[in-house]
Structure 1
Amino acid sequence: MTGLWRQRPGERAGRWLALALCLALGACGARGGVEDALDVPEPQAGVDVQRLTLALRVDPTELAVSGRATLRVKHPNDLGTLVLGLSSAMQVDLVRVNQQPVQITHEENALAIPVRGDSSLVEIVYGGTPDAGLYREETEAGGTVLWTDGWPTRTAGWMPGVHHPSDPVVWDLALEVPTSWEIAASGTPEAETLEDGWRRGRFVTSEPAPLYTLAWAAGDFAVTEQAGSVPIRHLTLRGDSLAVGALERTPAILDTLEAMLGPLPYGRFATVEVPLVYAGMENAAAPFFQTQLYGEASGALEEVMVHEAVHQWWGNDVVPADWRHLWLAEGPATYLTAVLYERLDGRTAFREQLVRMALLSRDDARRRLVPDALASPEAMLSGTVYQKGGSFLHILRQTVGDAAFFAALRATLVAYDDAPLATASFQAELEEASGVDLDALFETWAYSTNLPTLKTRWDRGTRTLSWELSGASGGLSGIGLELYIAQDDASGVYVPLDAGTATLTGGKAPEVYPVGWIADVR
């Protein structure tokens, strides 16, 4: 999920922040959004859903589904009862375990199933009208669109499973909709058939992904294929087909990310236009993007696409150990978007990204990246995990150096491939790659509410700005951090943080912005 938006540095922070948070948190409209997230069971220790095969028929008119889900599950010998999340709005007609019918209970979005041994093949037949996760809307660009949006637990509205980032699954979806509808979904599209008025498409993910990143859509889509090192396709609503030109650099973007992080986890990439509330959603192999972006001329669509593309590695392939560690998905997606523009467009573009990344409210800046406790996943949705998380990564990169930083990223992706990643484990990978003790930095930026203060003084007579750091500023000096100084009557300049002073050309009091790091600027 993203709230990134392209804007020139030096413009007022409040305007950019309002738009960014509107896009990221789903505050721009009433359809979908995280406000209808479901309370679902917590993961059970030792339970690992490895594969989910789902046959789903959808009636778009009634917004009703009928499904058959088969889950291959490993679990402890003494588990006794497997508990899965599935909305109570779904009527469960039959459950089999290892091909034998069993008696279950289904209350408060929890489906309790008796199991034995250390593994089970669980088959669930169900249906109904979802109360979350499935949405329909009339659009000017392409008629009626039907789509799913699963973050953080809304896939439980129409699909059984463990709705938590720590248990990614391989999914095999067979989706049926009326023939007048076209289908897009997470995974690799297999053969499509038309029979008795129904269109049946099959999609399979080559690697596991969290349930909230598994999604599908149906509508009147125009499909544009792009040549690249992996198969690429763009699905736009019919009336927006020309807007796909904004995504012409997708092959170069994916190649750049692969050079940085390793092979694309899902082996192919698609973009899908739907009426999302927020800007984008990182659905595995097929991110979904907000319809409004396709009418913008600001470059926002490409930038949001980069953010969701990074998520294919960070968030989908390597998954957060729990919601408290969500910054390990959103921080890399935010910061590596800036790095991508550094590699494609140069240092000026990188600096502009960093200035915007470090613009966030004082409350968000002071909030812990890894909270001690969490009332709900939705409580994590703020500029903290996105922008503070990205800024912390920039500080870490400057501290350990490029070679060690990118080596640690790649090592983490290998060591935690399809496995839950906690902040302490990520720190260990960075320390292993660099040989640097990072306890103090992680204590300050990940686990505390401390924030350095940057005190500035403007001498109008000499046109000199001076500054000094105080408070939680250990580790920020001597690592090449910068300030961006903007004046209304002069061009902005970048200066080293360690310089302490700068003589400016303009006469008006300047505005000071940390470049990719966070401080309380006074």
Structure 2
Amino acid sequence: MRKTPLLAVAVGAAGVLLFATAASAAAPGAPGIGDPYYPDYGNGGYDVSHYDLGLKYQPATDTLQGTARITARATQDLSRFDLDFLLDTQAVTVNGRKASFTTSGAHELVITPARVLRKGASIAITVTYSGVPSTKKYNDYVGWAKTPDGAVAAQEPESAWWWFPSNDHPLDKATYDITITVPEGLQTISSGEPHGARTAGGWTTYKWHEAKPEATYLTTLAVGKFEIHQGRTKSGLPVITAYSPDVDPALLTAAKASVETTGEVIDWESTVFGPYPFTSAGGYVPNVTSHFSLEEQTRVFYSPAAFSTGVRPYLIVHENAHQWFGDSVSLTTWRDIWLNEGFATFAEWLWSEKTGQGTTAEVARQTYDSYPADDPFWQVKAGDPGPGDNQFDDAVYDRGALTLQALRATVGDAKFFTILRAWATLHRYGNATTAQFEALAEKISGKNLGSLFQTWLYTTGRPAAPPQQVALKTTPKSWKEIRQTRTLEAH
């Protein structure tokens, strides 16, 4: 028998010990990203930079087949990690090696790679899957809308689980390539820009690309028959709008008259909030029965019922304001939802002022007066409303906008609009918090604003006075339409 030198044995043992120590230092990624309202949403231990989704959808059976190629980076030594997902997984590889997987909880796909993933290392994840999205429920909720000729994925705060595995939280934004194959004769709508289509063997494959960071819930997908329009803003920005021809004709007429103003609205909002943050804009109206609208990045989703009362200019203003406030500058936790909805609501008030239908001060006074002191409205803290129904309570929208009017009245127009533009610029494509907004407002204005934000965002009960003393001779002309928008925008 060959003898092994003592030194070699010692070195070998040390190597084994070193490997064992390193491996034992690795830990599972958290099954939640740390959101106080939704502890199991998102995941810890890694950060996604890109999703490359290859999909095939058959509307007749509502069957979706997919391969998700996810590019990420480990933020700790990882022994395993989670993805948020509901469909049936067939195979997983991590960095080209087969990985084991299981499910845990209501929407967790738990992946154990063949080798420990070191902090800072690139991760290439491939998930092959299939399923019938409309049969998957979470708390009796289905985030996939089956339509007569296709389907739509558009919902908040979650919708990705029903069609691709992800780190499903706005804190982990990524870019996207989406390739979707559907029966010939159908079209697809998604975020970003179309990158061509090819038909063969009775199927058509479409490609979409979103080059700017995007939160998972803001990534939309629609399959069906669409009348697609392509135009441009005055600055040359592509505007893509689409309409299901099967929508009730009266609703469809009002929808087109509304959504086709997207370019005009984007041009105006760019003068108020700063340059538009993305490379395309638009919206779509599919044949769904829901009643809400949602600010999907670059391609707003509108339910046909949103136009049941006619043309809705304020709804278009609201949803496109979100492209700055909510989509480009995204919340850090869902507790900060007023940074999305309060800002978009205030954009409506600014449109009212621009079109001579009532100043922001007049709309704010009307809003304040419309809620009696004993109204439950005043018991919801706009800056911390709570999860579930309260997250989209009227207070988040209206008290959020009242906060901004109070800020405008306190710091003056020049500094107020400087604050808005600086906010959109400093946090472009990232995430931010209410505390950061307050700090920025104080820095630019040179004023201590703690009491203002505490009163309007965090104190229950009706403030003793409206955000600005203004006498109302008549109700602002915009009031009725703004109130309708509130109903139509609620998620």
TM-score scaled by length of structure 2: 0.79
Correspondence for 1:149 among 151, 154, 166? 154
> Corresponding residue for 1:28?
none
Correspondence for 1:346 among 352, 356, 362? 356
Shift of 1:347: 5.7
Shift of 1:351: 6.0
> Corresponding residue for 2:347?
336
- Can you list the C-alpha shifts for 1:399-420, whole angstroms capped at 9, x where unaligned? 1112212211222222222222
Amino acid at match of 2:444: A
1:181 paired with 2:186, answer yes
Alpha-carbon distance in structure 2 between the residues aligned to 1:422 and 1:53: 29
Determine if contact 1:79/1:116 at 8 Å carries over to the other structure: yes
Superposed counterparts of 1:219-238, under 5 Å: 219-228=224-233, 229=235, 230-238=237-245
Q: How many equivalent residue pairs? A: 416
More helix by share: 2
Shift of 1:378: 4.4
Partner SS for 1:424:
helix
Alpha-carbon distance in structure 2 between the residues aligned to 1:394 and 1:146: 40
> Corresponding residue for 1:96?
93
Q: CA RMSD in A?
A: 2.4
> Corresponding residue for 2:124?
121
Change (3 A) 1:92 1:331: same
- Can you list the C-alpha shifts for 1:427-448, whole angstroms capped at 9, x where unaligned? 0111111111111111112222
1:134 paired with 2:144, answer yes
> Corresponding residue for 2:423?
412
Determine if contact 1:272/1:286 at 8 Å carries over to the other structure: yes
Shift of 1:47: 3.1
- Can you list the C-alpha shifts for 1:88-125, whole angstroms capped at 9, x where unaligned? xx211111111111112222211122350223111111
Correspondence for 1:271 among 283, 292, 296? 283
Shift of 1:273: 0.4
Shift of 1:55: 0.8
Shift of 1:42: 3.4
Shift of 1:173: 0.7
- Can you list the C-alpha shifts for 1:14-69, whole angstroms capped at 9, x where unaligned? xxxxxxxxxxxxxxxxxxxxxxxxx8833345632111111111111111111111
Determine if contact 1:152/1:378 at 8 Å carries over to the other structure: no
Shift of 1:76: 1.9
Determine if contact 1:40/1:163 at 8 Å carries over to the other structure: no
Alpha-carbon distance in structure 1 between the residues aligned to 2:125 and 2:145: 28
Determine if contact 2:85/2:164 at 8 Å carries over to the other structure: yes
1:452 paired with 2:452, answer no
Which ranges of structure 2 fall in alignment gaps of 5 or more residues?
Answer: 1-37, 137-141, 478-491
Shift of 1:350: 4.9
Partner SS for 2:296:
coil
Shift of 1:245: 2.7
> Corresponding residue for 2:62?
63
Alpha-carbon distance in structure 2 between the residues aligned to 1:46 and 1:96: 17
Superposed counterparts of 1:390-429, under 5 Å: 390-429=401-440
Correspondence for 2:110 among 103, 109, 112? 112
Shift of 1:127: 0.8
Determine if contact 2:358/2:476 at 8 Å carries over to the other structure: no
Alpha-carbon distance in structure 2 between the residues aligned to 1:422 and 1:332: 13
Alpha-carbon distance in structure 1 between the residues aligned to 2:101 and 2:344: 40
TM-score scaled by length of structure 1: 0.74
1:50 paired with 2:49, answer yes
Determine if contact 2:83/2:109 at 8 Å carries over to the other structure: yes
1:371 paired with 2:384, answer yes
> Corresponding residue for 1:36?
none
Alpha-carbon distance in structure 1 between the residues aligned to 2:225 and 2:74: 42
Correspondence for 1:245 among 226, 250, 257? 257
Amino acid at match of 2:381: R
Partner SS for 2:196:
coil
Determine if contact 2:88/2:129 at 8 Å carries over to the other structure: yes
Change (3 A) 1:121 1:159: same
Amino acid at match of 1:116: L
Alpha-carbon distance in structure 2 between the residues aligned to 1:107 and 1:342: 51
Shift of 1:370: 2.5
Determine if contact 2:169/2:216 at 8 Å carries over to the other structure: yes
Moved over 6 A (4+): none
Alpha-carbon distance in structure 2 between the residues aligned to 1:445 and 1:386: 12
- Can you list the C-alpha shifts for 1:329-355, whole angstroms capped at 9, x where unaligned? 111011112213323x13636567545
Amino acid at match of 1:363: P
- Can you list the C-alpha shifts for 1:472-520, whole angstroms capped at 9, x where unaligned? x8xx5xxx5324255xxxxx699xxxxxxxxxxxxxxxxxxxxxxxxxx
Identity over the aligned pairs, expressed in percent? 25
Which ranges of structure 1 fall in alignment gaps of 5 or more residues?
Answer: 1-38, 139-143, 454-468, 487-491, 495-522
Determine if contact 2:94/2:124 at 8 Å carries over to the other structure: yes
Alpha-carbon distance in structure 2 between the residues aligned to 1:351 and 1:276: 36
Change (3 A) 1:283 1:404: same
> Corresponding residue for 1:158?
163
Change (3 A) 1:136 1:40: farther
Determine if contact 1:444/1:450 at 8 Å carries over to the other structure: no
Determine if contact 1:188/1:203 at 8 Å carries over to the other structure: yes
Amino acid at match of 1:197: G
- Can you list the C-alpha shifts for 1:450-474, whole angstroms capped at 9, x where unaligned? 4224xxxxxxxxxxxxxxx5xxx8x
- Can you list the C-alpha shifts for 1:210-260, whole angstroms capped at 9, x where unaligned? 111111112221122333221112211225464413344332211111112
Superposed counterparts of 1:21-60, under 5 Å: 41-45=40-44, 47-60=46-59
Alpha-carbon distance in structure 2 between the residues aligned to 1:493 and 1:79: 57
Alpha-carbon distance in structure 2 between the residues aligned to 1:74 and 1:150: 27
Correspondence for 1:218 among 219, 223, 228? 223
Correspondence for 2:447 among 430, 436, 444? 436
Alpha-carbon distance in structure 1 between the residues aligned to 2:208 and 2:177: 6
> Corresponding residue for 1:382?
393
Alpha-carbon distance in structure 2 between the residues aligned to 1:360 and 1:169: 40
Determine if contact 2:360/2:405 at 8 Å carries over to the other structure: no
